[in-house]
Amino acid sequence: MIGTAGDGRPISIAGLGCHVPERVVANAELETYVETSDEWIMERTGIRERRIAKPEEALSDLALPACRTALEDAGVGAADIDLIVVATVTPDMMFPSTAALLADELGAPDAAAYDLSAGCTGFMYALAQAYGMLAGGLAQRALVVGGDVLSKILDWHDRSTVVLFGDGAGAVVLEAVDDPGFLGFELGADGAGGMSLWLPHSGSRAFDGDSSRFVQMNGREVFKFATRILVQSAETILARCGASVADVDLYVPHQANVRIIDHATKKLGFPSERVVINVDRYGNTSSGSIPLALADAAADGRLKKGALVLMTGMGAGLTWGSALMRWTKETG
Ligand SMILES: CC(C)(COP(=O)(O)OP(=O)(O)OC[C@H]1O[C@@H](n2cnc3c(N)ncnc32)[C@H](O)[C@@H]1OP(=O)(O)O)[C@@H](O)C(=O)NCCC(=O)NCCS
């Protein structure tokens, strides 16, 4: 799917918030669970540490403070929200949706609320959906959440996955603005590659002879997909919007692995000062990755009013998604 902001109402991000668990797990701690080393993890992934939720913490516990910060940043109350979309593969439970739980906890009784599953690309899918509903006038103000607690679905004895992921959540408030914020979206899915990154026994399909209930991944296949799709999706949306890499002030790629980001950055031609990287501190937080990166760029002063921002996510599905937008909010 590809589209540009056409005749619909201009829509942008009015508020941003994020939240990560307190507990920091450095690579050295992982050496006590699996045969790995800080050196290997740093060299192959660029990840130094990640945040891990407590046993009693679920997604809504991470998302709630992120939503409150985003609402405050936007200067609106929860009662003004009429749409909540939560992108995640680790909801509190299959139902009720985490979005419905958040609507209740925040106090948004008029909101349509649902969860959306698109792997690590979930936040990009959720942004596009909320954009469409707001631009079309179906909703007036949306809260879009991206977050995951992947630590709960990892095999802590599997070194091929446990070193990569972390927990975290982010939220943004979307509303109508005077000048265009979102300029275009490109989203896609390739189910044929789905078994490169999957969670057996997580739904209605039974799998003979496979008892694992944890994330399974073919790292090399996902690496190949990721390096190709980050470049392809970015080039596609830029071309459709009539923009070039040189026009983009801030590139916010999904934070999966520093080698994947470096590959895309070099291929696309972005200088490092225009690229947001925080995978070293958080690992891959799945749907939380892009909002966490936006929040870091706001904090370090790079996410300024007027900046042209390109975000690209990719992940399980296999899915991918890009958004090009003009940052319309005053920051800092
Ligand atoms: C997982 C990933 C870091 C592995 O890096 P790689 O360079 O491809 O490494 P390989 O899989 O080729 O493994 C190289 C060696 O390291 C070993 N190894 C794998 N994981 C290890 C770990 N955590 N610690 C130490 N050694 C490890 C392998 O067993 C292999 O050993 P061998 O050469 O003796 O067989 C990389 O493939 C990757 O990042 N893939 C994408 C994953 C991803 O981003 N998923 C989420 C997408 S949203």
pLDDT of 332 above 80: no
**pLDDT tens, position by position, 235-258:** 999 999 999 999 999 999 999 999
Name residues contacting ligand 1 (CB within 6 A).
Answer: 36, 40, 44-45, 120, 159-160, 163-164, 217, 219-220, 222-223, 226, 256-257, 284, 315
Mean pLDDT to the nearest integer, 119-144:
97
Q: Provide the annotated active-site residues.
A: 120, 254, 284
**pLDDT tens, position by position, 169-197:** 999 999 999 989 999 999 999 999 999 99
Q: How far is ligand 1, taken at its centre, from the CA of residue 281, in Å?
A: 19
- Taking the CA of residue 165 as reference, the ligand 1 atom at the shortest distance is 46
**pLDDT tens, position by position, 1-50:** 999 997 789 999 999 999 999 999 999 999 999 999 999 999 999 999 99
Taking CA atoms only, the protein residue closest to ligand 1 atom 18 is 160
pLDDT at 210: 66
Q: How far is residue 7 from each of residues 75, 132, 133, 183, 242, measured CA to CA in Å?
A: 27, 11, 13, 11, 17
User: Is the alpha carbon torsion for 272, 273, 276, 278 positive or negative?
Assistant: positive
Q: How far is ligand 1, taken at its centre, from the CA of residue 219, in Å?
A: 6
pLDDT at 62: 98
Mutate to test the pocket of ligand 1, among 34, 44, 159 (most ligand atoms within 8 A of CB): 44
- Taking the CA of residue 286 as reference, the ligand 1 atom at the shortest distance is 48
Taking CA atoms only, the protein residue closest to ligand 1 atom 2 is 219
**pLDDT tens, position by position, 193-209:** 999 999 999 999 988 77
Q: How far is ligand 1, taken at its centre, from the CA of residue 20, in Å?
A: 26
CA separation for the pair 241, 134 (Å, rounded): 20
CA separation for the pair 152, 16 (Å, rounded): 26
pLDDT of 127 above 80: yes
pLDDT at 34: 97
pLDDT at 148: 98
Q: How far is ligand 1, taken at its centre, from the CA of residue 45, in Å?
A: 9
In the chain, at which residue ranges do the beta strands (DSSP E only) sit?
2-4, 11-19, 24-26, 49-51, 83-87, 112-116, 141-149, 167-176, 182-189, 197-198, 216-217, 250-253, 308-315, 319-326
* Residue 121 DSSP SS3: helix
Residue 212's pLDDT band (cuts 50, 70, 90): confident
Task: Give the pair of three-digit tokens for residue 263.
Answer: 């590959």
- The percent of residues in the chain predicted with pLDDT above 90, rounded, is 95
pTM: 0.97
**pLDDT tens, position by position, 80-114:** 999 999 999 999 999 999 999 999 999 999 999 99
pLDDT of 211 above 80: no
Inter-residue contact 147 to 290 (CB < 8 Å): no
Mean pLDDT to the nearest integer, 50-66:
98
pLDDT of 130 above 80: yes
Mutate to test the pocket of ligand 1, among 30, 38, 223, 312 (most ligand atoms within 8 A of CB): 223
End-to-end distance of the chain based on CA atoms, in angstroms?
A: 34
- The percent of residues in the chain predicted with pLDDT above 70, rounded, is 99
**pLDDT tens, position by position, 279-315:** 999 999 999 999 999 999 999 999 999 999 999 999 9
Helix axes 258-268, 219-240, angle to 10 degrees: 30
Under the phi-then-psi rule, with left for phi > 0, alpha for psi from -120 to 50, and beta for the rest, what region is 137? left
CA separation for the pair 288, 325 (Å, rounded): 19
More confident of the two residues 212 and 181: 181
- Taking the CA of residue 161 as reference, the ligand 1 atom at the shortest distance is 1
